[in-house]
Amino acid sequence: MVDRKPKSEVKVMQDKIICLPQGNLPVPPTNQTGILPNQSEPESEPALPSPTSVSPAPVVQEMRGLKTNLDWQQYSFINQMCYEKALHWYAKYFPYLVLIHTVIFMVCSNFWFKFPGSSSKIEHFISILGKCFDSPWTTRALSEVSGENQEERDSKKQVPSRPVPNNASAVEGSLVKTQSLRSIPEKIVVDKPAAASVLDKKEGEQAKALFEKVKKFRLHVEEGDLLYVLYVRQTILKVLKFVLIIAYNSVLVSKVQITVTCNVDIQNMTGYRHFSCNHTMAHLFSKLSYCYLCFVIVYGFSCLYTSYWLFYRSLKEYSFEYVRQETGISDIPDVKNDFAFMLHMIDQYDPLYSKRFAVFLSEVSENKLKQLNLNHAWTAEKLRQRLQTNNSNRLELQLFMLSGLPDTIFELSELQSLKLEIINNVTIPAAIAQLQDLQELSLYQCSLKIHTAAISFLKENLKVLRVKFDDARELPHWLYLLRNLEELHLTGSLSPDASKNITLESLRELKSLKTLSLKSNFIKIPQSIVDVHSHLQRLYIYNDGTKLVMLNNLKKMVNLTELELVHCDMERIPHAIFSLVNLQALDLKENNLRSIEEIVSFQHLRKLTCLKLWHNSIAQIPEHIKKLGSLERLYFSYNKIEVLPSHLFLCNKLRYLDLSYNDIRFIPPEVGVLQSLQYFSLTCNKIESIPDELFFCKKLKTLKLGKNTLSVLSPKIRYLVLLTHLELKGNHFEALPPELAVCRSLKRSGLMVEDVLFETLPSDVREQMKAE
């Protein structure tokens, strides 16, 4: 049979509080029959015998206690009422308070791990930190610098009177006492020679990617202090919560009592007002509350220690001074804000992580890695395959957009010219002295660092320097020390005003400078050019369209033989030029010249053989040009000339005459006077006929008559037996004269005509021209 407990017993076990009435049962009023109002008249019972007539019966033991006549529903009601009215709230809700406080503590401790703005930073930092810790480059970098530092220490500690200590004691003795003594095992490990392993290409690329990640992470995290603020606030909240819990729990823990007196006004329902109750969970709650207080006190002390750690020192700044001392990597920067805070946090676990992570903050370490990767990628054999001969007939190596300068370059002893383009943080070491034949160096938009020994080498050997720059960092200051430099070419924004960012400093030390080329935006000739007036022979100034208005300094450049003033927005020929008595070549290309009446003053420049007035707006050539009897090369192309004066052809020494891209319609017969003429260009004009006198210029080798309105080519072309280049394309010719066969030097490649027009020549003439 199933053992079933009485309902009253089950109810007692389930109730949180059990109450019983206090006092005697109140006597309700009775009627004349002696029956309670709520009771029915009982059945007639046999009359009791009188005491005198009944024999004495055995004594029956009666149950003692208070008889209440209450049923179990009334007891349940009383228990609920007393639980709500009489039991202290702390005793009732203690488990829920513990749960709420625990949840609050958990939220305070873990909020920054779940909040997107902070959790992403933490996860990224942990990921990068682990990769940096395990990277082979970290071990190699620490091995190199530790080995160097150990050698320095050993050299300083050589004392004859003391015995040499063993390796372990030497390492321990050489350590500097810093914040981190736990990094000593790392020190001992990396001092071993076996640690300095050679990185393969894949490991080098992975380390390079780590450097980029650390840079971006630092740039992003150092901007704010969200992590630090969240951690401080949650710590303060936990401390306040701890104080609150201890304060009210220590006062209210005594309220958890086993016996509770209950006074509730329910007499009309139960017949009682006063009850004595037993809290069934009081003993357990009392013990648990004391245990809970102990746990909270322990946790609170940890929070107090954390708050002390937060405010005792500045956690928004982190110094790698101890790492710099131990590793010898002196350029590791200090960090701030959230980046510093996370490093302080990781130091609480193991400072070794920060030490290995610091390697990836060092620019020196990054440069070493880049150099290692460069040397792997650019071997000496690969560089030799890129050698070419430049316009100066020098063996040149050109490198474009590299991360640095490969050390393998210095194995190319035959190198004569080195050209570097768009390479940042280039370091020229002392090893450049191995390139004994190096004479030319080109630096195009390169920020450069150079070793002192390298400067000494360049002072003695460098002949040509070309620099293209956008800011002051790309203009090397050591160029002013190159005493054997012969050519200097500068391209960039230079200002003669000292208040500007980039100025051209004194060139006084350049004792051998003969050629100076400046592509900039000058409004006047820089005073620094005058410093080399005694030996400067060639000056080239290419402006960006800025008007060059002050040229008085040119008068002092009396030894100039070549002068170019290009794109300077000049409307007249500067008078300062007429003082340059040694001038042999003058180029005034891309200016705004309209009138050149001043050309008569060029007669005083008796050495002037080349005059370039092309790409201007000249409409008329003055008759005074006949006085320039020494001219051999004359450029008038890309102007607006319509009429050629006959006096032009009195310059009988002309060998090169360019009149292309004008509006010329007629060629004077006086052109036949130019018996020295070798090059004559009339391309893109409006010429309808060619005078026969032109064919008396028997030294002519190049004749360009393309893009005109010519219809007939005279048979007298046969007189030009030295002709090698003839341009006729773009005219109205119907046939070519067979007399071209006499021009034995003229080949098909030098005859610029349409294919249809070429087919009009006799077949033997065509075969002759096609033959090499």
pLDDT in tens, 8-37: 444 444 568 888 888 655 545 444 444 444
317 within a domain of the structure (yes/no): yes
Q: Which of 635, 626, 638 is nearest to 592 (CA)?
A: 638
Backbone angles phi, psi at 187, to 5 degrees: -60, -45
pLDDT of residue 300: 85
Determine the residue type at 565: L
Q: Which two tokens stand for residue 234?
A: 């949650």
Which residues lie below 8 Å from residue 456, measured CB to CB, with a gap of 6+?
none
Separation between Cα atoms, residue 711 and residue 725, nearest integer Å: 19
Give me the residues paired with residue 541 across strands.
518, 565
For the segment 569-594, the average pLDDT, to the nearest whole number, is 92
User: Using CA atoms in the order 69, 72, 76, 78, what is the torsion angle rounded to 10 degrees?
Assistant: 0
Mean pLDDT of 508-517: 93
| pLDDT-derived band at 57, boundaries 50, 70, 90 | low
Q: Which two tokens stand for residue 444?
A: 């195009």
Residue 356's pLDDT is what? 81
Identity of the residue numbered 546: T
Most trustworthy range by pLDDT among 46-60, 99-113, 304-318, 555-569: 555-569
**pLDDT recorded at residue 95:** 87
Residues 465 and 514: their CA atoms lie apart, in Å, by: 12
The pLDDT assigned to 322 comes to 81
Detail the DSSP E strand segments found in 264-401: 274-279, 317-318, 335-336, 388-389, 395-400
Q: How would DSSP label each residue in 73-116?
A: HHHHHHHHHHHHHTS-HHHHHHHHHHHHHHHHHHHHHHHHHHSH
- Which residue from 762, 701, 767, 708 is spatially nearest to 735, judged by alpha carbons? 762
Helix (H) or strand (E) holding 19: strand 17-21
- Residue 596 resides in a domain: no
**Mean pLDDT value across residues 402-431:** 89
Which helix (H) or strand (E) element contains residue 490? strand 487-491
Higher pLDDT, 715 or 227: 715
Q: Does any domain span residue 471?
A: no
What gap in Å lies between CA 302 and CA 54, rounded to an integer? Answer: 84
Q: Is residue 604 part of a domain?
A: no
φ/ψ (deg, to 5) at 100: -65, -45
Residue 365: which of 357, 354, 375, 353 has the closest Cα? 357
DSSP 8-class letter at 263: E
Q: How confident is the model at residue 183 (pLDDT cuts 50, 70, 90)?
A: very low
Look at the chain and count its residues: 772
The pair of three-digit structure tokens given for residue 150, joined into one six-digit string: 């150990």
| The two structure tokens encoding residue 667 | 């060629």
Do the domain assignments include residue 552? Answer: no
**pLDDT for 250 beyond 50:** yes
pLDDT value of residue 749? 93
Give me the mean pLDDT over the 589-617 stretch: 92
Is the pLDDT reported for residue 655 higher than 50? Answer: yes
The C-alpha atoms of residue 507 and residue 479 are separated, in whole angstroms, by 9
Q: What is the pLDDT of residues 366-409, one digit of tens each?
A: 778 878 888 888 899 999 999 999 998 999 999 999 888 899 99
Where does 494-629 show beta strands of DSSP type E? Answer: 515-520, 538-543, 562-566, 585-587, 610-612
Token readout for 411 is 């194995």
Q: How far is CA 347 from CA 180, 254, 355, 395, 620, in A?
A: 9, 44, 9, 55, 83
Does position 280 have pLDDT exceeding 60, yes or no? Answer: yes
Query: What are the structure tokens assigned to 137, written together?
Result: 């480059």
Q: Any idea which residue has 């320095």 for tokens?
A: 152
Q: What is the pLDDT of residue 22?
A: 80
Strand residues in 349-456 grouped as ranges (E):
388-389, 395-400, 417-421, 426-428, 440-444, 448-450
Question: Running DSSP on this structure, what letter comes out for residue 550?
Answer: B
Mean pLDDT on 505-530: 90
- Residue 677 falls inside a structural domain: no
- Can you give the pLDDT at residue 210? 83
**What are the φ and ψ backbone dihedral angles of 297, each rounded to 5 degrees?**
-65, -45
* CA gap 106, 664 in Å, rounded: 94
Please state the rounded mean pLDDT for residues 298-304: 87
Closest CA to 446 of 477, 422, 471: 422
SS3 for 626? helix
Buried b (16+ CB within 10 A) or exposed e, 456-489: ebbeebbbbbbbbbeeeebbbeebbebeebbbbb
Q: What are the respective helix, strand and coil percentages of the chain, to the nearest 5?
A: 45, 15, 45
pLDDT band with cut points at 50, 70 and 90 for residue 40: very low
Whether the pLDDT of residue 191 is over 70: the answer is: no
pLDDT value, residue 73: 82
Element (H, E) at 244: helix 226-252
pLDDT at 171: 30
Q: How many domains does the chain fold into?
A: 1
Q: Select the more confidently predicted residue: 552 or 501.
A: 552
Bigger pLDDT: 630 vs 152: 630
pLDDT of residue 165: 38
Sign of CA dihedral 189, 194, 196, 202: negative
434/413 Cα distance (integer angstroms): 7
**What confidence tier does 645 reach under pLDDT thresholds 50, 70, 90?**
very high
Angle subtended at Cα 612 by Cα 609 and Cα 614, rounded to the nearest 5 degrees: 160
Higher pLDDT, 329 or 409: 409
* Mean pLDDT value of segment 296-312: 85
Predicted pLDDT at 60 = 52
In this prediction, residue 644 has a pLDDT band, given cuts at 50, 70 and 90, of very high
> Does residue 230 lie in a domain region?
yes
**Cα–Cα distance measured from residue 739 to residue 386, given in angstroms and rounded to the nearest whole number:** 48
Q: Which residue, among 331, 318, 335, has the nearest Cα to 145 in the 3D structure?
A: 331
Residues 6 or more apart whose CB falls under 8 angstroms from that of 376 comprise 201, 204
Lowest mean pLDDT among 29-43, 77-91, 315-329, 425-439: 29-43
Q: Which 3 state secondary structure label does DSSP give 96? A: helix
Residue 389: the pLDDT is 93
* Amino acid identity at 675: Q
Between residues 528 and 118, the one the model is more confident about: 528
- CA distances to 233, 241, 295 from 100, rounded to whole Å, are 19, 11, 15
Strand-pairing partners, residue 275, are: 21, 262
127-131, 337-341, 500-504, 528-532 — which is least confidently predicted? Answer: 500-504
Q: What pLDDT, in 10s, does the model give residues 737-747?
A: 999 999 999 99
**Mean pLDDT, range 542-564, rounded to an integer:** 90
Stated pTM of the model: 0.66
Q: What pLDDT does 36 receive?
A: 40
Give phi and psi for 572, each to the nearest 5: -135, 160
**Tokens 């006085």 sit at which residue?**
627
Spatial separation of the C-alpha atoms in residues 585 and 599, rounded to whole Å = 14
The range of the structural domain enclosing residue 303 comes to 17-22+70-148+201-375
Amino acid at 308: Y
Q: What tens digit of pLDDT does each residue of 193-248 get? A: 333 345 677 777 788 888 888 888 888 888 888 888 888 888 888 888 889 888 88
**Neighbouring C-alpha atoms within 13 Å toward the C-beta of 712:** 7
Pairing of strands 515-520, 538-543: parallel
Q: Looking at the predicted structure, is the pLDDT value of residue 556 above 70?
A: yes
Q: Is 331 left (phi over 0), alpha (psi -120 to 50) or beta?
A: alpha
pLDDT at 112: 72
In the chain, the amino acid numbered 708 is N
Please report, as a single letter, which amino acid is at residue 270: T
Element (H, E) at 681: strand 679-681
Predicted pLDDT of residue 26: 52
Residue 418's contacts (CB-CB under 8 Å, 6 or more residues apart) are: 396, 397, 399, 409, 435, 438, 440, 441, 442
How far is Cα 638 from Cα 242, in angstroms, rounded to an integer? 90
**Cα 291 from Cα 304, distance rounded (Å):** 20
At residue 132, does pLDDT exceed 50? yes
Whole-angstrom Cα distance, residue 397 to residue 390? 9
Handedness of CA 490, 494, 497, 501 (dihedral sign): negative
Mean per-residue pLDDT over the chain, rounded: 81
Percent of the chain with pLDDT over 70: 84
Average pLDDT value for residue range 139-168: 51
30 vs 540: which has the higher pLDDT: 540
Choice between 62 and 584, residue whose per-residue pLDDT is larger: 584
Helices 116-134 + 136-156 axis angle, to 10? 60
- The pLDDT, as a whole number, for residue 700 is 96
Is residue 615 assigned to a domain? no
Nearest CA to 95 among 311, 306, 286, 371? 286
Q: Is 361 exposed, middle or buried (0-12, 13-18, 19+ CB in 10 A)?
A: buried
pLDDT at 245 (0 to 100): 87
- The two most distant CA atoms of the chain are separated, in Å, by 188
Residues in contact with 509: Cβ distance below 8 Å, sequence separation at least 6, in sequence order = 480, 481, 482, 483
Q: Which range has the top average pLDDT, 233-242, 419-428, 730-739?
A: 730-739
